Structure 1
Amino acid sequence: MTSGTFRIVQFIRSVLRPLGVERATFIRPLYHRFKKSLKHSTAEVDGFFLHLDRNDSLDLSLTPDYEVFERNLVKRWVREGDTVLDIGAHIGLFTLVMAREVGPKGRVFSFEPCPESHHLLAENIRTNGLANVTLVEAAVGEESGWTTLFLNPLNSGDHRTHPTSQSGESVRVETIRLDDFEPLKGVPIDFIKMDVQGSEWEALKGMSGLLETNPGVRIFFEFWPSGLREAGADPLEVLLWLRRRDFRLFHLHEEDESIRRIQDGDEEGWIERLLTEFGAHSQRHTNLLAVGTSGRDPF
């Protein structure tokens, strides 16, 4: 991509993102159609060669610094020999980063339910020659079984297990309760990255036993109040559930690349301030880190 095109994309994003309209129904089709016209089918990011979905809103082929703050944090937190989980792996950018960090003595379990995204995920693992990744074509939820995955035709990173106004076709996918997942039985888990479009609550409830037996685990997850509510969850209850299990909570500020602890007892006030900051544009989201009782602080 030329530097001129990159500057155009960055300018458009700088205008739309503060307004919270990148996800707005009325502008999404136009915005994604514009981006699709510029995208490539492959990209080189962070030293990895990636096959992309051109129907996707993922900006890997347009913005070289895509989620660079988050990627750099993961590189700091994940260590050689760790066992990590990538829940909602999509096409595998974070799976690749974490697989490189854990090295040959570590292991990445990568969960992705969408068949098309899982195909690209597997292709990206093969292309980059990584032998320390276990791929699981399934969603992570409260119970093991099967569910309907509602597909977003504009954004393959926004498929959900509940219908929305953007939903198109749907597919049946397997769901896994991590507490019942045999390959993880007795395996120490060091780090979990989770981005499942509002279904984080179901995933957490299905791994309560795993979290209890891994007091040092750290969970890096997207916190999207609107998405959680659309999935039938209470955003405050998600945080209080973690606090009742003695997790320390940290807010990751992409704007100034800072990490701030959410003080004990201030979860409700923090959410109110967060929603006030986001204003009426409830589609905005942020990232949090939950650190177990014996886990290392992120600083």
Structure 2
Amino acid sequence: MTKRYDSLGELHRVYWRWRLALFPEDGTVTVGETTARFTVSTRSERRRAKRLGGERRVIEMFLDELSGSEVVWDVGACVGTYACLIARRLSSGCVVAFEPDPTNRSRLSENLSANAPTERWRTSAVALSDTDDESVLQSEFVEAGGGHHYLSDHRDGLPIEVRRGDSVVASGYPAPDMLKIDVQGAELQVLRGLGGLLDGVDTIYVELHTEKSKRYGTTTDEIEAFLREEGYSLTHLGDPTNGRPGAYLVRAHR
């Protein structure tokens, strides 16, 4: 049955690539007072442009907190749903967008280039974690805009670099003032890898995954406890409105 659904899903993806090639759709998105434009060439990109991952209200909250001079790290940037809108909102700061999947990272750079000058953004191919190592990236399917990537010990995935956040800063990237994290269950590893950088971060928006965090031997309760131990107060922002099971959004602030 799983193989049948996989085949149907691939047929739908092929259909949408064909349809969007023949009948292009406008990828313009407005959240509050901020507008960005995204390339729409796949079913996944179309969904993101239309639904914003079910996070429109949360994105608007994030944008409203920006003064314009911050360094924002978008950890798990995909094709730039958050990063492009953030870059559009910044006046002197920059967004650093981490995306290890090469298909999404290529589109991420394209979207950022279309929305903001180069001094407002940087991208990185590393996956943030709590070690400096190598790993393998796997996904349920690969197309621009597709998510659900995760780190694995299997050999049949994509070899990638894994880095601690404090190691990334030591290599020349600017330290973050604000964070957005969506890494399909690896949130605790990302937070631990920031080390002392957390002292300079007052606000974190994080998507937590009750089932996917088990891949990494953690739980959402552990992640929330870690943030509280670091001095953050947590506000639960509810589930994404597009009906993704097992995911919920949290704002951590101090």
Q: Structure 1-normalised TM-score?
A: 0.69
Partner SS for 1:70: helix
The offset of 1:235, in angstroms, is 2.0
> Percent of aligned positions with the same letter in both sequences?
21
Q: In the alignment, what sits opposite 1:108?
A: 95
Are the aligned partners of 1:139 and 1:174 in contact in 2 as well (CA < 8 Å)? yes
* Between structures 1 and 2, the one with greater helix share: 2
Q: Quick one: distance in 1 between partners of 2:127 and 2:13?
A: 28
> What per-residue deviation string (whole Å, max 9, x for no partner) do you get for residues 34-60 of structure 1?
476346366222332212462637613
Number of aligned residue pairs: give it. 239
Q: RMSD of aligned C-alpha atoms? A: 3.2
The offset of 1:93, in angstroms, is 1.6
Are the aligned partners of 2:87 and 2:116 in contact in 1 as well (CA < 8 Å)? no
* Between structures 1 and 2, the one with greater strand share: 2
Q: AA paired with 2:162?
A: T
For the pair shown, the structure with the greater C-alpha radius of gyration is 1
> What per-residue deviation string (whole Å, max 9, x for no partner) do you get for residues 166-197 of structure 1?
x9951011112011223687956321001001
The offset of 1:75, in angstroms, is 1.3
Decide which of 101, 115, 118 is 1:128's aligned counterpart.
Answer: 115
Decide which of 191, 194, 199 is 1:204's aligned counterpart.
Answer: 191
Q: Quick one: distance in 2 between partners of 1:113 and 1:193?
A: 16
Decide which of 85, 93, 105 is 2:73's aligned counterpart.
Answer: 85
Partner SS for 1:206: helix
Decide which of 172, 189, 202 is 2:176's aligned counterpart.
Answer: 189
The offset of 1:228, in angstroms, is 0.5
The answer as to 2:231 corresponding to 1:253 is no
Are the aligned partners of 2:103 and 2:142 in contact in 1 as well (CA < 8 Å)? no
Q: In the alignment, what sits opposite 1:74?
A: 62
Are the aligned partners of 1:228 and 1:234 in contact in 2 as well (CA < 8 Å)? yes
CA gap of 1:61–1:248, structure 2 versus 1, over 3 A, is closer
* Gaps in structure 2 of 5+ consecutive residues: none
Q: Quick one: distance in 2 between partners of 1:64 and 1:237?
A: 28
Q: Quick one: distance in 2 between partners of 1:64 and 1:177?
A: 28
Q: Quick one: distance in 1 between partners of 2:80 and 2:28?
A: 13
Partner SS for 1:60: helix
Are the aligned partners of 1:227 and 1:283 in contact in 2 as well (CA < 8 Å)? no
Q: Quick one: distance in 2 between partners of 1:198 and 1:53?
A: 28
Q: Quick one: distance in 1 between partners of 2:141 and 2:240?
A: 29
Are the aligned partners of 1:140 and 1:203 in contact in 2 as well (CA < 8 Å)? yes
Are the aligned partners of 1:52 and 1:91 in contact in 2 as well (CA < 8 Å)? no
Q: Structure 2-normalised TM-score?
A: 0.80
The answer as to 2:221 corresponding to 1:236 is yes
Q: In the alignment, what sits opposite 2:151?
A: 161
Decide which of 65, 87, 92 is 1:99's aligned counterpart.
Answer: 87
CA gap of 1:220–1:243, structure 2 versus 1, over 3 A, is same
